[in-house]
Amino acid sequence: MDVIRRPKIDDLVAGMDPMQLLKDMQQGFINYSQGRSVIPPVGELILPERNGEVHIKYGYTKQEAYYCIKIASGFYDNPALNLDSSQGMMLLFSQVTGAPKAIMLDEGYLTNLRTAIAGALVAKAMSPTQVTGVGIVGTGVQARFQLEELVKSGFPVKKVWIWGRNPVKAKALQTHFSRQFEVNIASSTTELAQHCNLIITTTTAKNPLLTAADIQPGTHISAIGSDTPDKQELASDILGKANLVVADSLSQCAVRGEIFHATAAGELAPNAAVELGDLLAGDHPGRVDDGQITVADLTGVAVQDIAIADAVYQAFLAE
């Protein structure tokens, strides 16, 4: 049984081929949508007095070596203690005997990474042909990860607009990427949406930050932040107006995330969403012209955890 700690995990990831990780992630979503993965409902533990929430995501893909349990928490008062709000670990167990094989003390890093890799995968699969501007709503850790993985995926990032409530964090994010590409700070999400036809939202907002009136024809939006029933980044009318709405998991998005809200609001018909794995497998055409508005609701599925944990552990074993 291997205990793999943080600096080692960083080293292992640094040595990996980003394109292979994208392929692994894609295959994970396809396995899931094609019924080859067993993914029970997300476990959730809420600590309201601590401003904390814990998600337990777990499951396995048939015929593989391991089953995976991922514990990822957000304790949102941690930054005041100079600690990352993300905490947690990923666990791999033998599918044959149940014996623990690997404990990855990733401190939330692999969750951030797999979320961003899924973001890059979706951006490549659903964006219009010419992305004139990439808009990032939110200035936290995931905002940075999304941009980094987008670049690593080979996606052409030239002009970026960022928007966040905290000007200091917006400035820091701008500085972080300013040698790689042009980064502008938008004064509002409306301004951001005017410049961008790929928008990625990465906040923990409980009230929508963008409405349908903000969104230009031909825009793709990936909503990353909402993974619980009470979080919402996009006004429901955006999903109502969209030509295509994709869910990373139809069953999860029925009870959490943007699709849950838009369906509850009557803006989106039940069963209107398409599952990401079906789109990635080519069973759904996806975007059919550059004028369409498309939305991907990414709540985070255990197949992503399986994909990243397997990849890291294989790299560890190969050393």
Q: How far is the CB of 57 from a copy of itself (least distance, A)?
A: 10
Compute the half-sphere exposure of residue 34: CA atoms within 13 Å on the CB side of its CA. Answer: 17
In degrees and rounded to multiples of 5, residue 89 shows phi and psi of -160, 165
Question: Which is nearer to a copy of itself, 60 or 177 (by Cβ)?
Answer: 60
Phi then psi dihedrals of residue 189, to 5 deg:
-65, -30
Of the candidates 105, 103, 113, 119, the one whose C-alpha atom is nearest the C-alpha of residue 29 is: 119
- Pick between residue 95 and residue 174 the one whose CB is nearest to a copy of itself: 95
Query: 249: number of CA atoms within 13 Å, CB side?
Result: 24
Question: What is the rounded CA–CA span in Å between residue 138 and residue 288?
Answer: 29
Minimum distance between the CB of residue 104 and a copy of itself, rounded to whole angstroms? 11
How is 93-109 classified by DSSP, letter by letter? EETTT--EEEEE--TTH
Q: How far is the CB of 58 from a copy of itself (least distance, A)?
A: 6
Among residues 93 and 177, whose Cβ is nearest to a copy of itself?
A: 93
Minimum distance, C-beta of residue 292 to a copy of itself, in the bound complex (Å): 38
Nearer to a copy of itself, 44 or 191 (CB): 44
Q: Residue 40 CB, nearest distance to a copy of itself (Å)?
A: 6
Question: In sequence order, what are the residues at sequence separation of 6 or more whose Cβ sits closer than 8 angstroms to the Cβ of residue 88?
Answer: 54, 70, 71, 72, 73, 106, 107, 108, 111
Please tell me the number of Cα atoms within 13 Å of 206 on its side-chain side.
2
Q: How far is the CB of 93 from a copy of itself (least distance, A)?
A: 7
- Binding residues for a copy of itself, per CB under 8 A? 1, 3, 38, 40, 43-47, 49-50, 52, 54, 56, 58-60, 62, 67, 69, 71, 73-75, 78, 81, 83, 87-89, 91, 93, 95-100, 103, 105
Burial class of 100 by CB neighbour count within 10 A (0 to 12, 13 to 18, 19+): middle
Residue (78 or 174) nearer to a copy of itself, CB: 78
| Least distance to a copy of itself, CB of residue 206, Å | 20
CA distances (Å), 319 to each of 15, 118, 142, 218, in order? 11, 26, 29, 45
Contact 205, 233 (CB under 8 A): yes
Nearer to a copy of itself, 56 or 212 (CB): 56
Rounded Cα distance, 13 and 56, in Å: 23
DSSP tag of 129: S
Distance (Å, whole) CA 319 – CA 47: 39
Q: Which is nearer to a copy of itself, 6 or 23 (CB)?
A: 6
Closest to a copy of itself by CB, 1 vs 168, is 1
Least separation in angstroms between residue 171's CB and a copy of itself is: 27
